[in-house]
Amino acid sequence: MTDKTELQQLENALRAVGAPPEPPASYRELARDAVFGDPPAPPAEVVRIDRHRLRRRLMRPAIAVVVIAASTIAALVIGVGGDQMPVVRTVDMTATSGATASIDFGEADGAVRPVVVNVSDLPPAGKGKYYEVWMSKNGNDMPIGSFNTDADGSVTAKTTMPSDMRWDRCWITLEAVSDETDAHAQVVLDSA
C-alpha cells in the first residue's frame, strides 16, 4: 500500500504544480528541421511599385539635367562674363629676369582696338617710376599705355590703340617720372 500511497502523493503534487509552460516557437522550428530537414522557403514577398512615386523620383534628376544644360547654352550664347574680348592676335614677351608678359589685341571697334596687357613676375616700378608699353613700325615708336605691377609682380592693364595702327615690334620699358629726354629708359620686356 505504500506504493499506492506514494503514487497518489506524487500525482497530487504534479497536479498542484500545473501544466508545463508552452515551448517557444523557435523550438518547434528546430524540432521540425530535425525531423524533416530544411524548412520550406517562405512565400515570395509581393512588392508593389508605386509608379507615380517612381516617376517623381526619376523626373527630379532629369529636370536638373535639363536646367543645367539650358543654363550652359544660354551662358555661351549671351557670353557670360561680357568683358571677354575676342582676341585677334597675341604677342608674348620675355625677359632675362624671368618676367613674362603677353599683349592681347582685340577686334577693331570703329576707330579703336582694345588691348589687354598681362604681366607676371615683374617687380613694382618703385617710387617715381612706372612701366610703359611701346609699339614700333618702321622705327616710329608710340607708347600705348602705362602701368605698375602689384606687390606680387603681376598686373592686367586694359587700354586701346588706333584700329588702323600697324607694328612690327612691342616692348616694355621702366620709365622715370622726371625723365625729360626722348630716349627710352631701360627695356625690361621685349617681343623681339
Cβ neighbors of 100 (< 8 A, separation 6 or more) are 92, 93, 94, 119, 120, 121, 189
Q: What pLDDT digit, counting tens, does each position of 60-89 carry?
A: 777 777 777 777 776 666 655 556 778 888
Lowest mean pLDDT among 64-68, 123-127, 167-171: 64-68
* Assigned architecture for domain 87-190: Sandwich (2.60)
Instruction: Please report the DSSP string for 11-55 in residue order.
Output: HHHHHHH-SPPPPPHHHHHHHHHHHHSSPPPPPPPP----HHHHH
pTM over 0.95: no
Contact 170, 134 (CB under 8 A): yes
Q: What would the pLDDT profile of 50-67 be if each residue is shown by its tens digit?
A: 777 777 777 777 777 777
Domain ranges of the chain: 49-83, 87-190
- Asked if residues 103 and 116 have their Cβ atoms less than 8 Å apart, the reply is yes
